Structure 1
Amino acid sequence: MPLLFAVALAFLLQHFIGALAWAGLLAVITWPLHQRLLRRGWSGIGSASALLAMLVISFVGPAIFLFNTLSNELATVERVLGQINQTGIPAPYWIARLPLVAEPALKWWQENLAAPGGLNALIHSTAGDLVPHLTGTVRMLGSVILANGLYLFLALLTLFILYLNGPAVVRYVDHAGERITPTHYSVLRYLFPLSVRGTALGLCSVALLEGVVLGLAYAVAGAPAPALLAVITGYLALIPGGAPLAFSLVSLLLLGQGHPDAALGLFCWGAFELFLVDKFVRPRLIGHRVNLPFLAVLFGLLGGVSTMGVLGLFVGPFMMAVLFWWLRGGHVATLQSAQPATEPVAPDDKAA
């Protein structure tokens, strides 16, 4: 009977499980800050409102900067494209050295880009073919934006309620967990906040580091709009594989502009920096709290995001933490070896 009820409840809330999950994850991640504000004399509503405002600003602020920079850069791009369309752009010397495709590639460039007005004709012909698809995409995009706006509102509302009634919610969850799996629930509720907070710290810190370091590299290499590319790289770095995709595309852009030395230097620097981050920084930030090795963190992140999307970034390392706890003997005593000396083992985590 309880299992059937759980299945029926999941079916009923299937469209809102994502919003509830995000609210729970954000509550777990930020709960120590909430507790600290309460200990300093803040009211529950004041602390919840401040943390909610902080989360909104941390996500909306970079987005506003991105769109503002993008609008400025689009004007520059439009002006450059107009000049190129009037004069044409000669084919780079490296096209003639391409194996197998040098002749057709050079011919296509001469017909479409080297001749004055060729770029305008190419854009019109390509845009004409894409108009029916773009119209359907825009219509679908509108409904998707409205739906995601509703999910975001529900997630923030749920998070606000969790800040106010977190201890009561935890008592209900503890009661249910102890009834379902009394033997292992204490381990699960201990590892979950540690892995989730470690993952959040690792992802956000690495994304900020990647955006700043690679943004400076873009500026040194002479890439166009380095600040815009840095923000985009920071967002992509939240997902495993996003940062190498970003600096590889910028390297190809520099190569297409006729700067092979800058393209090669940027790619080599990006690969070196990515090796340092993935080998030392990210595994230590994410796996150190629950004593996970590098490969466990890597496959947990990749497997989680490929199976469950962004939520899988948190679920994957948690499942790996449970797996390695079991491989190390499956005893409660092994949890102490996974706990860093500076991590407080306090009942406050029960409220997270």
Structure 2
Amino acid sequence: MPYVSLFLPLVFAVSLAAMLRHFLGSLAWAALLAVITWPLLEAMVRRGWSRLGSATLLLVGLIVSFVGPSIFLFNTLGTEVAAVERLLGRLNETGIPAPEWLARLPVVAAKAIAWWDEHLAVPGGLNLLIQTTAGDLLPYLTSTVRTLGPTVLANGLYLFLALLTLFIVYLEGPAVIRTVDQAGMRVSPHYYPVLRRLFPLSVRGTALGLCSVALLEGIVLGVAYWVAGAPAPALLGVITGYLALIPGGAPLSFTMVSLLLLAQGHPGAALGLFSWGAFELFMVDKFVRPKLIGHRVNLPFLAVLFGLLGGVSTMGVIGLFVGPFMMAVLFWWLRGGKPDSVQEIAKEEAEAETDKLAA
């Protein structure tokens, strides 16, 4: 009989997830954003703001924080693309002489120089190469464009649903928290308080670490691109900042820019940029990111790293938040976590709420 009582809710949960499978991403993002920004909402309410006004202002702030960088990226992209078009036009008229380092390549130097002289060193060769390459890629580009419109509309719908759900959660927050707590205590009265404590700590730590590191690396490497003489340093800095949200994105970015400088015949600038990027990446990944992400739940560096990589490889961007949380649960258990520690966690939560009210 006990197994039957567990089987029916499990079947219902699986059926519900299958029915809502296309919208689980929106619900998950709404939940993550609510957990991340909940302290801000509560602080505004404690200062005398109405819950409706606090929810509206916070939602508008989130939209602006997402839309603002995108508008800057597109404006910068338009300016830089025009400059790139003018540069390509000049290079197409005069031809691009083979760089000196090409002759020093082992084994393939003669073939590489012959190909370069045939396709790029002659006037008009760059334009012909681009047309040939674009012609080969045209079938793939056409099929991509056909699916682009429906994909954009679907993602727009999912974003709208995520923001709408987030707004409702802001308004009905206490009732939502009560409902989730009641359900969690029915499922696992011993371990749910521990998970309830670890989840917001790990999610907020991950959000703080990812956003802070992305902003830092975008600014620092953008300045490094400008010092090294890379083309379009502002655009490359913004792209690097976005890529830095994903583990491995920043090194890929500054490595590609270093190779671009090397191809332009600036080996010293390329080596300097790559060395600075590697040093900056070491400092960020060794000290800054683990400190911000793992400090709140006492996670070591490798646990944070594998949690981020494993999460993003299996669940996409949402996995960046789920991975560290699962690692936090694992290390809590490995360190001898027991249901008895629930009382301590509940005491800490009560003290934290008391401190908030006093403030």
Residues 1:19 and 1:12: Cα distance change in structure 2 (over 3 Å): same
Aligned residue number for residue 321 of structure 1:
328
Partners of 2:193 and 2:345 within 8 A in 1: no
Aligned residue number for residue 282 of structure 1:
289
Aligned residue number for residue 45 of structure 1:
52
Q: TM-score, structure 1 length as denominator?
A: 0.95
SS in 1 for 2:102: helix
Aligned residue number for residue 182 of structure 1:
189
Aligned residue number for residue 34 of structure 1:
41
The question of 1:117 aligning with 2:114 is answered no
Aligned residue number for residue 141 of structure 2:
134
Partners of 2:191 and 2:339 within 8 A in 1: no
Query: Quick one: distance in 2 between partners of 1:188 and 1:6?
Result: 20
Partners of 1:194 and 1:289 within 8 A in 2: yes
Query: Quick one: distance in 2 between partners of 1:335 and 1:278?
Result: 32
- Partner of residue 191 from structure 1, selected from 192, 198, 210: 198
C-alpha deviation, 1:331, in angstroms = 2.3
C-alpha deviation, 1:167, in angstroms = 1.1
- Which amino acid in 2 is paired with 1:47? S
- Partner of residue 155 from structure 2, selected from 148, 154, 159: 148
Aligned residue number for residue 2 of structure 1:
9
Q: TM-score, structure 2 length as denominator?
A: 0.93
Q: Give per-residue Cα distances to partners, 1:50-69, cap 9 Å, x unaligned.
A: 11111111111111011101
Partners of 2:197 and 2:345 within 8 A in 1: no
Equivalent positions of 1:50-129 (< 5 A) are 50-129=57-136
Query: Quick one: distance in 2 between partners of 1:231 and 1:253?
Result: 17
Aligned CA-pair RMSD: 1.9
Equivalent positions of 1:231-310 (< 5 A) are 231-310=238-317
- Which amino acid in 1 is paired with 2:266? H
Aligned residue number for residue 20 of structure 2:
13
Partners of 1:210 and 1:237 within 8 A in 2: yes
Query: Quick one: distance in 2 between partners of 1:254 and 1:302?
Result: 29
C-alpha deviation, 1:175, in angstroms = 1.1
Residues 1:224 and 1:234: Cα distance change in structure 2 (over 3 Å): same
Residues 1:41 and 1:218: Cα distance change in structure 2 (over 3 Å): same
Partners of 1:325 and 1:334 within 8 A in 2: no
Query: Quick one: distance in 1 between partners of 2:278 and 2:326?
Result: 29
C-alpha deviation, 1:334, in angstroms = 5.8
Residues 1:334 and 1:177: Cα distance change in structure 2 (over 3 Å): closer
C-alpha deviation, 1:202, in angstroms = 0.4
Aligned residue number for residue 227 of structure 1:
234
- Which amino acid in 1 is paired with 2:77? L
The aligned length equals: 347
Query: Quick one: distance in 1 between partners of 2:351 and 2:206?
Result: 18
SS in 2 for 1:346: helix
Partners of 2:194 and 2:345 within 8 A in 1: no
C-alpha deviation, 1:182, in angstroms = 1.5
Gaps of 5+ in 1: none
Residues 1:315 and 1:287: Cα distance change in structure 2 (over 3 Å): same
Gaps of 5+ in 2: 1-7
Query: Quick one: distance in 1 between partners of 2:177 and 2:355?
Result: 11
Aligned residue number for residue 174 of structure 2:
167
Residues 1:315 and 1:166: Cα distance change in structure 2 (over 3 Å): same
C-alpha deviation, 1:141, in angstroms = 1.3
C-alpha deviation, 1:333, in angstroms = 6.4
SS in 2 for 1:345: helix
Runs ≥4 residues deviating over 2 A: 331-339, 343-349
Identity percentage over the alignment?
Answer: 74
